[in-house]
Structures are given as C-alpha cells and as structure tokens.
Amino acid sequence: MSEELLDPSPRRSFLGRLAAGTAALGLTAFLPVTACAAEKTDKTGSDTTGAAAGSAEASEWPGTIKTKHKMVIDASELNEGFPLAFAYTFMLPYMSVTPLPATPLVVLRHGAFPLALTDAVWAKYKIGKAMNVIDPATKAPAERNIFYHPKPGTLEIEEMAIDKLMGHGVIFGGCNVALHFLSAKFAAAANVTKEVALKDWTDGVIPGITIIPSGTWGVNRAQEVGCSYCAGA
C-alpha cells in the first residue's frame, strides 16, 4: 500500500465507480445486523472471542454455514484493502434479500495479518510505516488500522470496513503462524522483546476475529465446508 491510495489510480477509480454504482442501484442500505463472533459466548456464559489456536472454537472454524452462497477470500497481502472489498462485492447482489443468503469468509494470513489488529498495535509497532500504509486523513504512514472503524471519508466504500463486514455476518480468521512470525519481526520497532510483542499482538486482535492454526489451514477448511475460492491478492 502506498501514496497511490490518495491518487486517482485505477484501483481507487474502480472503488469510486463501485461506490457510485452501488448508490445508483439503491444497494447501500444495511440489512439487520447479524450476530458476530464478538458477541458469542460458550455454554457457561464466558466470552469466547479471540480464542487461541487449538481451542474448540479455533479447531472447529468456521463452523456450520447455512447460507446457500459462501466464498472464502484468501487474503495473503494487504493489497490496498481489496480482500475486504471482495467480501463486500460478493454480498452486494444479495443485499435486497432477507435474510442475506451469502456468507463471505476472509482468511487474514501472511502480509495481510495486520488487518486483524487494533489501532493500538498499529501505532506502537509502526505497522503503517513498515508496510507503507498511508492514512488519507494525515497523508502520513498510518498509526491506526484505517480499515477498522475508519474515520468518515477514509474509505471510498464505507461498507468494506471490517466492523461493517462483521455486522453483515462476514467470518474472519487470522493466521496463528503469521501472528507469531510478524510480531517477532516487528518487536524491534517498539523496542520490546519478541515475547512482549507476541502478547501485545495476541491481546490486540480485533474482537470477532478468530485466531486459527494457520491461514492455509483456514482456506482449506473453508473449502471443505463448501466455500468457493477467491484470491485476495
């Protein structure tokens, strides 16, 4: 991701045209918010959000998907946030139907894993600078995850924000291998040990995103439950 985010590049022009087309078709209205993982509890009433790899929730990911249409987006790179846009555009033709008959799954692995992290982690570990993510509001390296609860005008399509997608029932999985590898790699940026970085990153996973054993495992599991495949990078 680069300063192209701020320029009328082909990709940004595409998002602009898509936003305009969506409005023209009257497809911008949100459906009723579905229950997302951030609100799930186990039988004892304990919060199961952010379960670690190897837990029941992680090992059973993504669970039963009852919708007719389902697709997994294999997000291996940030790709200017396009994996999130792909999830939104997959749902878009069905948004006039209640209940929504389509479920996208987004697997955040490899270079796309930072999308799974909160603003505090982005700021402390200088993720925007390292990964050349420019915040349109400051025109400087992002010190926040601009794709999660973004400020108005940050994204040309607001519905591609992670929180908006979760509201539509999009299922997210984050790669445990990438969590360990990247937290260790970024530890020096915050002048902390790899152990401290791993804890910060683990604690800083966005509520509702399940950490799964690996991203490739997640892509396979999604296909095993009937999802078609979409390359996110």
Sign of the CA dihedral with 108 first, then 109, 115, and 118 last: positive
Calpha distance 42→120 (Å, rounded): 28
Sign of the CA dihedral with 68 first, then 233, 139, and 131 last: positive
The whole-number pLDDT of residue 56 equals 52
pTM above 0.75, yes or no: yes
- For the chain (length 233 residues), average pLDDT per consecutive 10? 39 49 42 33 35 59 96 96 97 96 98 98 97 94 97 91 97 98 98 98 98 98 97 91
Beta bridge partners, 117, equal: 205
Compute the chain's Rg from CA coordinates: 17
The structural domains of the chain, ordered by start, are: 59-231 (3.40.1260.10)
Phi, psi of 127 (to 5 degrees): -65, -40
Q: Which of 120, 125, 166, 177 is nearest to 144 (CA)?
A: 120
